[in-house]
Amino acid sequence: MIRLVTLGEFPSEVLEHVARRLHAAYGMGCEIEGEAELPESALSEDQESYQAPKLLEEIDDETQLYADDKIVYLTKAPLTAPEGPMGKGPLTGFPQFGGGRAVVTSHGLGGKGELPLDVGLAKRAAHHVGHLWELHHCYDPRCAMHPEWSPGFTQYPEVALCLYDREKSERKIKLGQS
Amino acid sequence: MANKGTEIQIGDGSLHIGDRVVYPNQGICRITGVEVKQIAGRDWEVVTLSREEDGATVMVPRAKVMGIGLRKVASVAAIDDMFDQLAAPGDDPQLDWKVRHRENADRMTGGGLQGTLDVLKGLHALSRVRPLPQKERELYDSARHLLVGEIAAAMNLPLHVAEDNLDYALWPPPGMKRKGRPLLPAALPVPGSSAVAARPASRAADDEMDDEMGFGEVDAEGSGEPKTAQVADTEESDIADPTDTKDLVRQRAMRVTAEEEEPEALDELAEDALEATHEDAAVQPSAKLHAPPGTTRPQAKRGPAPAAAEEPKREGARPAGSEAAHGVARSIAAKALEVAAKVLAPARPAAKAPARPAPPKAKPAPPKKAAKPAPKPKKPIAKKPAAKKPAKKAAVRKPAGKGKR
């Protein structure tokens, strides 16, 4: 089961769209759990964005995480992550790779050259849920696992996985604990 | 079983218990100890490793530790150097499948950072030209998985950040720089050359993937497949390793089938459509005979009326099987003709009858003709014999017209 928890207000139709797309992409149940609050302790030094790994650690959320459940937190706030050898790059979300929780931001969606809020959020969420199932980035621009900053990600708004990633995710889901 | 102290040296002396190591093709492991295991009646000293990813235990004979390529996790400097290579423009991909397969297999079994990097970069370059076959797609994913794990382990980064950084080098976002030098932003793969877009219809195996993904038609330029990809296709057909052939042979078989069938299918379709047009016309009478009255539509609405030459045949064929069905029509026609015969000359209707147009006009026709020639004959002497002749023809013709409706 994929559980959606909002960290801020989102239109209900957007949430329903995201839930439907996630369900279609992974063949798993997806439900909207409710709302939680952004942990202030995860605010970065500039006080404008949230440190994503810290946010996931310190979020005060009562949602129970059973066996193979995946929890996706949706926020409008910009996120940051530790800098790697390539420096700072765009960040649309942060998953615990192979784990159970991911945070996805709608920051920047609906702008010029970006996908609309509902479509973009659904695709970003599907991308990061894929990382929760240990899927890596895919070179296919139509796959939801294509790098989210690449032009292909916005060019193809459909939330779909390529055959390889779909089979891999299905295998992971079947082999899951539950 | 004996678990010795952490001071025990393993391999060439560079490995110790508790170290994080890279096991070729398996990923990051941690050395948990050295044990003695009795296998096939012999005591073997084995190094036990715990795979970090899932906690699986791996046992390696101590004497073979260096032979299998077990090594320490790369240093930060080595990783930095690796990113330099990733960000640098790559060479053209190796298109000879056999050479590529052999080289990649050797690199992966070697387990070195450079080897894994070369595999990833080579397959990434190839994926920009054409979609990867299943086995190479798996290899690409495996190489990526190993590198991401090693980057994360070496630089103490979350796995997701490691993967994003890897792709910042392979697919640079706008404004990305590497050591002060701006990188060329990633562009959308050229339609027709990459994974999905605009492949010819003959690429059935790959189109199957598209269908399963549920993607619609892509805005392609219809440029077809590049020569490189075609060359690679032909080279893939003769694979040395029989274990790898299964998927490719299936793909190739589907491709060949599609190539053989599709052009024919187009011709056949066209021919069928043409034949169907004629068949429709030929089948109409019998089909309409079974249709309940009033349900058929006038011939004019269904298309051009059948040729006049066809009518006599149908007329000849019909009375044999439909006399009873058209008895009412015949009697009406006979009555009408009896009235008409009073004023008609015997020769005229007989001469005009074959030249009559489509049957629907048959009903209103007799009164008109009866009205025109009416003043001409002065002596309606041969009423009855004259009436009989046209009556037969009209009786035959009228049911034919009704039957068509």
Going through B169-237 in order, the beta strands assigned E by DSSP cover 177-178, 181-182
Considering only the beta carbons, identify the residue of B131, B140, B160 that sits closest to A94. Answer: B160
Please choose, from the candidates B142, A135, A116, A14, the residue with its C-alpha nearest in 3D space to the C-alpha of residue A161: A135
- Pair of tokens at residue A22: 């996630």
Chain B closest CA to A97's CA: distance in Å?
A: 6
First to last CA, chain B: 97
pLDDT, tens digit (0-9, with 9 covering 90-100), for B282-313: 434 443 334 444 444 444 344 444 443 344 44
Amino acid at the residue B325: A
Please choose, from the candidates B142, B209, B189, B149, the residue with its C-alpha nearest in 3D space to the C-alpha of residue A147: B189
Is a pLDDT exceeding 60 seen at residue A104? yes
Query: Do B213 and A142 lie within an 8 Å CB cutoff?
Result: yes
- Pair of tokens at residue A96: 């615990």
Query: Do A89 and B79 lie within an 8 Å CB cutoff?
Result: no
Query: Do A162 and B195 lie within an 8 Å CB cutoff?
Result: yes
Q: Is A177 exposed, middle or buried (0-12, 13-18, 19+ CB in 10 A)?
A: exposed
Please report the pLDDT score of residue B385 as a whole number.
45
In chain A, residues with a C-beta closer than 8 Å to the C-beta of B195 are 139-142, 162
Q: Is 0.90 topped by the overall pTM?
A: no
**Location of structure tokens 């492991």:** B29
**Location of structure tokens 């059935």:** B204
Mean pLDDT across the stretch B318-343? 62
Please choose, from the candidates A3, A17, A35, A12, the residue with its C-alpha nearest in 3D space to the C-alpha of residue A115: A17
Is a pLDDT exceeding 80 seen at residue A174? yes
Considering only the beta carbons, identify the residue of B162, B174, B187 that sits closest to A84. Answer: B162
Considering only the beta carbons, identify the residue of A90, A136, A150 that sits closest to B145. Answer: A136
Chain B closest CA to A13's CA: distance in Å?
A: 24
Are B93 and B121 in contact by the 8 Å Cβ rule? The answer is no
Nearest CA in chain A to B187: A151
With cut-offs at 50, 70 and 90, classify the pLDDT of residue A3. very high
In chain A, residues with a C-beta closer than 8 Å to the C-beta of B150 are none
% of chain B with per-residue pLDDT over 70: 48
**Residue B228 Rama label (left phi>0; alpha psi -120 to 50; beta):** alpha
Please report the pLDDT score of residue B327 as a whole number.
60
Any idea what DSSP says for residue A77?
A: S
Is a pLDDT exceeding 70 seen at residue A99? yes
Interface test with A, best of B76, B155, B168 (most A CBs within 10 A): B168
Please report the pLDDT score of residue B149 as a whole number.
94
H or E element in which residue B118 lies: helix B113-129
ipTM for the whole complex: 0.94
In chain A, positions 96-115, which contact chain B (CB-CB < 8 Å)? 96-98
Specify which residues B61 forms β-bridges with: B46
Chain B closest CA to A145's CA: distance in Å?
A: 12
Residues 6+ apart with CB under 8 A from B71: B21, B22, B111, B112
Q: What is the 3-state composition of chain A as percent helix, strand, coil, each rounded to the nearest 5? A: 35, 20, 50
Nearest CA in chain A to B183: A86
Is a pLDDT exceeding 90 seen at residue B153? yes
Nearest CA in chain B to A147: B167
Query: Do A97 and B159 lie within an 8 Å CB cutoff?
Result: yes
Are B194 and A141 in contact by the 8 Å Cβ rule? The answer is yes
Mean pLDDT across the stretch B363-373? 44
Rounded CA-CA distance B214/A161 in Å is: 9
**Highest mean pLDDT (candidates B78-82, B351-355, B399-403):** B78-82
A–B CB contacts, 8 A cutoff, strictly below: 121
Chain B closest CA to A106's CA: distance in Å?
A: 18
With cut-offs at 50, 70 and 90, classify the pLDDT of residue A152. confident
Nearest CA in chain B to A128: B160
